[in-house]
Structure formats: C-alpha cells, structure tokens
Structure 1
Amino acid sequence: MRVAVIDLGTNTFHLLIAETAGKELEILYKTNVPVKLGEGRINDNIIIPAAFERGVNCLQDFSHTIAKYKADKVRATATSAVRSAENGQDFVKAVKEHTGITIETISGDEEAELIYQGVKLSGAINDLSLIMDIGGGSVEFILCDTEKLIWKKSYNIGAARLMQQFFKSDPISDEDKNAILFHVQNQLKDLFNICEKYQPKVLIGSAGAFETFAELMIRKNNLKTDISKAKTFGFSFDDYTEIAGKLLNSTHQERSAMPGIIPLRVDMIVIAALITNYVLGRSKINRLTLSTYDLKMGVLASLT
C-alpha cells in the first residue's frame, strides 16, 4: 500500500510518501517547506494572510505530488499553529476547497503520542528516556522506557512563540534569556516533578532543532555521518554544551554563516539551545541522542 503523510508544523510543512508491506517501509519521497504558518502573530492566535496563502499554496503543490505517486491513503495532521489559531478552521476549510486534502487538527496529547510512536520506530529508546520535540508552536515531552510510554504532555512554549514574545536582542541579552527561562520554568513545573520521580537517564531530541545540533557537531568533528540517512545519532555531551554556548553568544549574522544551520532555524536555534540547556540542567541528564524519526513516522506507523 502507498501512503502519504503531511505534517503541518508551525514553521515547516512536511510531506512523506512511503510504500508499506506489513512491517516493511520504503520511503519513496520526502520534502519539507518552510511555510512559517506561525509568522507574525502566533501569540495572538492568528494565522496572518501571507502565511495563510503560503500554506494553501504549499498544500496545492503537495496534492500534485501525491497524485503523481498515486497514494492509496493520505493523512494530514495539523499541530499548534492551526490548533490555537482563531482562523485555524478557516485554513482547514480553504485547504479542503483548493486541494481536496482533509486536515485533521490533533490535540497536544495526540501529537505527543505520535512523536513517541515515531521515535520508538527509530530504535533510539534504550533506557529510561525523556523525549523532547521542539516545535514552533509547542514543545512535547514524553517520558518512556524500552517497554512503554509512562507520561506525556504538550506545552505552548514553541520556539516561534518564545521568539516573538521575548527575543529582542542580538546576540540574545541576559535580560531576554532570563525572561524566557522564567516563562519556561513556570510552564514546566509538572515536567520536573515527574523527572524527579522517575529520573530519566537520556534526553532524546526528536528531529528539528536537534538535527541542527547534530549537523553542527558532525562538522565540528569532521564526521562522515549523513543525518538525512541516519535514524539516530549519539551526541557527546561536552560537544553539545560547547555548541549551545557558541549559539547563545553569537549574533544573527554569525549564525547565518555557520554551515549546518538552515535559514529557518538561524534564530530559533538560540531558543532551542536555551530550553534544552535548562531541561538538561533541571532534570540532571547528561546523555543526549537524536532521533530523526518524529511525528511524521508516528503517523506513518498509524497507517500501516
């Protein structure tokens, strides 16, 4: 069976087309487009007209590709930007009208569940772990072990939200950092209670920003790894700390010139490093792994 998965993220829309036979999966096509649906007014819960139009146009292109590949099943999931926007359902209707694609707006809880299923497929869960997925609109945390999901929650502290609300300096000032961390600390109290109780040993970063950290690490150490082909990547904690420090102290221009950072992530990676450092410190974790499998692969698993 041929299936197509569309993940409508706050920053990026993804399309994945795969052939499935039992448990076997063959990826036939994948792409992502920096639509920036949360641009401008995500904290006002509005999709601005320019972003709305970019979203519809991108999905028109996706629908042509899906038709070309003759997919038997299509599942399109929308997350934080559509979920929280007052005109989110208008966007869903406009997409259906212009492309024939039916979008399913999933809850934060469902999003966390699908991320867990995707990460599980990668083989990254080898110990009591905390999975972290930093999106533009929300951040999901999943506590799990090799057998099961123990706890999960989605928080509205995504990189685009925090950036629009707090990131006003270049390089980021201590004042902006403190404002972000104060906000995050207030949001994540129950996460740290659960971490204190279970004491996870590993932080598994789900795709996105963690792929950028991995790219920077690979280039720093002249490794041969190709992240686009890897399911997982083990981080050196010291390397991560050094790279995060460099990102937090750099200007927009310096980050733009760093090979391994895609344009969409030049500023959001600062927010990602800040939150990741905070979570690692508070949960006393010093082992990091990347899973390149995320929500998309979880959705794919749900279709097979």
Structure 2
Amino acid sequence: MRIAVIDLGTNTFHLLIAEIKQKNFDVIYKTNVPVKLGEGKINENVIIPVAFERGLACLKNFADTMTEYQVDQVRATATSAVRSAQNGQDFVEAVREKTGIAIEIISGDDEAELIYQGVKLSGAIQNLSLIMDIGGGSVEFILCDNEKLIWKKSYNIGAARLAQQFFNSDPISDDDRNAILYHIQGELADLFEICERYQPQTLIGSAGAFETFAELIINKKNKQIDINKAETYVFNFDEYIEVAIRLLNLNHQERAAMPGMIPLRVDMIVMAALITNYVLGRTKINQLTLSTYDLKMGSLANFL
C-alpha cells in the first residue's frame, strides 16, 4: 500500500510518499516547497491572495505527483497558518475543489502529538527530553521520555509571526532582540514551570531550523555527514552556540552566503536561534539533538 502524507506548514508544504509493508515502510518520494502561506499578514490571521494562490498551485503539483506514484491513501494536515486564518476554511475548500485533496486542520495539541510520534520513531529520545518544533506560525514543546509523553503545548510564537512583528533591523538590533525575548518570556511561562519541575536533560530539535543549524556546522567543520540520510544528529553544544551567535550578528546577505543555508531560512533562522538560545538558557539544558523525523513521520507512524 502506498501512503502520501502532506504537511501544510506556515512556510513550507511537504509531501512524503511511502510504501507500507506490514509494520515497516520505505520512503519512495519526498519534497518540500517554500510556499510561505503566512506571508504578509499572519499576525492579522489572513492568508493573502498571492500566498493563497501559491498554496493552491503547490497542491495541484502534489496531486499530480501522487497520481504518478499511484498513491492509495492520503493524509493532509494543516497547522498554524490555516488554523488561525479567517479564510483558512476557504483555502481548504478551494484545495478540495481544485485538487481533490481533503485537508484536516489540526489543533496545536494534535500537532504536538504527531511531532512526538515522529521524533519517537527516529530514536532520538534517549532520556528525559524536551522536544521543540519551530514552525512559521507556532512552536510546539513536548516533555517526554522514551516510554511516554508527559506534557505538550503549542504556542503562537512561530518564526514568521515573530519576524513580521519584531524583525525591523538587519543584523538584528539589541532593541529588536529584547522585544522578542520579552514577548516569548511572557508566552512561555508555563513551559519553564514544567521544566523546573521535571528537569529535562536534552533538547531535541524537530527537523526544520535544527536541520539548518546542523548543516551550517557540518559545512563549517567539513564533517562527512549527510543530514538528508540521517535520522538523528547529536550537536556538539559549543559548536551550536558558536553558529547561533554568528547568525545573530550577520546581515541577510552574509547569512545567505553561509554554506548549508537554504533561501527559505535566511531570515527565519535568526528567530529560531533566538528562541532556541533563550529556551536552552532558561532550562539550563546543554545537550542538543536533532531529529530529522517530525510531524510528517508522526502522520506516517499512525498508518503503521
């Protein structure tokens, strides 16, 4: 049986096609497209017309690919940008009409659950851990160990939301940094309370920005690692801090020129570095791991 999983993120749409055989799977196709559905007015809860059309065009292409690969079942999930948009349901209906793809708008809690299932599948959870998934619209945190999920929550402090509201200088100014940190400090108060109680040992970054952090380090240090083929990557903590500080001090053009940087993340990575650094500092965690498995793999895990 062939399964297609579509993840409609705020910045990127993902398509993954897998062959399911009993309790195992082989990924036979995957792609991602920088649709930027949250462009322009994500904080006003609107999908602007040009982003709306980009999303439709992308999903038409996905539908053609799924036909080509003779997919048997599809699960398409939409997260923060569609979830919070006043015209999110209009987008879902337009997609169904134009492509036949039925989109499920999932809650922040359900999103966190799927991220947990995906990360668990990667084998990244080795001890009491805090999973962090930085999206464009929201950031999910999951406290867990390798046996169970303990606590989870989704926060509307995604990279695109922060960038549109606070990123007014390049390189980012101290004033903009402080405004972001003040904002997320207030938003994440209950996260730090739960972490104070449980004392997680490792922060696990779920794909996305954490893959870019890893690529930047791998390129700078000339490591022979292919992140596209890895399920996990354990960061040297000092190497992560070094690259994160550098990202915060460079301008757009300088960030874009860094080996391992992808165009979509040139600006978003600044927001991701700020949030990650703040969470690491507040929780006193100094072990950082990447799981390349995320929500998509969590959706796939449900089929198993």
* Cα drift, residue 219 of structure 1: 1.1
Aligned position for 2:254 = 254
- Cα distance per residue 1:137-162 (max 9 Å; x no partner): 00000000111000000000000000
* Cα drift, residue 294 of structure 1: 0.1
Query: What amino acid does structure 1 have at the position aligned with 2:227?
Result: I
Report matched runs for 1:57-206 at 5 Å. 57-206=57-206
SS for the counterpart of 1:19 is strand
Aligned position for 1:237 = 237
**Distance across 1 between alignment mates of 2:252 and 2:221:** 23
Query: What amino acid does structure 1 have at the position aligned with 2:140?
Result: E
SS for the counterpart of 2:264 is helix
* Cα drift, residue 218 of structure 1: 0.6
**Distance across 1 between alignment mates of 2:169 and 2:127:** 39
Query: What amino acid does structure 2 have at the position aligned with 1:253?
Result: Q
Query: What amino acid does structure 1 have at the position aligned with 2:199?
Result: Q
**Distance across 1 between alignment mates of 2:260 and 2:221:** 13
Contact 2:112 2:152 survives alignment (8 Å): yes
Instruction: State the TM-score, normalized to the length of structure 1.
Output: 1.00
Aligned position for 2:283 = 283
**Distance across 2 between alignment mates of 1:261 and 1:39:** 20
Query: What amino acid does structure 2 have at the position aligned with 1:245?
Result: I
**Distance across 2 between alignment mates of 1:137 and 1:68:** 32
**Distance across 2 between alignment mates of 1:241 and 1:296:** 28
Query: What amino acid does structure 1 have at the position aligned with 2:86?
Result: E
- Cα distance per residue 1:199-252 (max 9 Å; x no partner): 000000000000000001111211110000000000000000000000000001
Aligned position for 2:4 = 4
Which sections of structure 2, spanning at least 5 residues, go unmatched? none
SS for the counterpart of 1:203 is strand
Q: Deviating runs (4+, > 2 A) in structure 1?
A: none
Which sections of structure 1, spanning at least 5 residues, go unmatched? none
**Distance across 2 between alignment mates of 1:255 and 1:72:** 42
Aligned position for 1:294 = 294
* Cα drift, residue 40 of structure 1: 0.3
Contact 2:220 2:259 survives alignment (8 Å): no
**Distance across 2 between alignment mates of 1:268 and 1:173:** 15
* Cα drift, residue 21 of structure 1: 1.1
Contact 2:205 2:288 survives alignment (8 Å): yes
Identity %: 75
Query: What amino acid does structure 2 have at the position aligned with 1:13?
Result: F
**Distance across 2 between alignment mates of 1:219 and 1:68:** 35
Query: What amino acid does structure 2 have at the position aligned with 1:161?
Result: R
Query: What amino acid does structure 2 have at the position aligned with 1:216?
Result: L
Aligned position for 2:54 = 54
Instruction: State the TM-score, normalized to the length of structure 2.
Output: 1.00
Is 1:211 aligned to residue 211 of structure 2? Answer: yes
* Cα drift, residue 49 of structure 1: 0.1
What is the number of residues matched between the two proteins?
304
* Cα drift, residue 120 of structure 1: 0.2
**Distance across 1 between alignment mates of 2:84 and 2:124:** 31
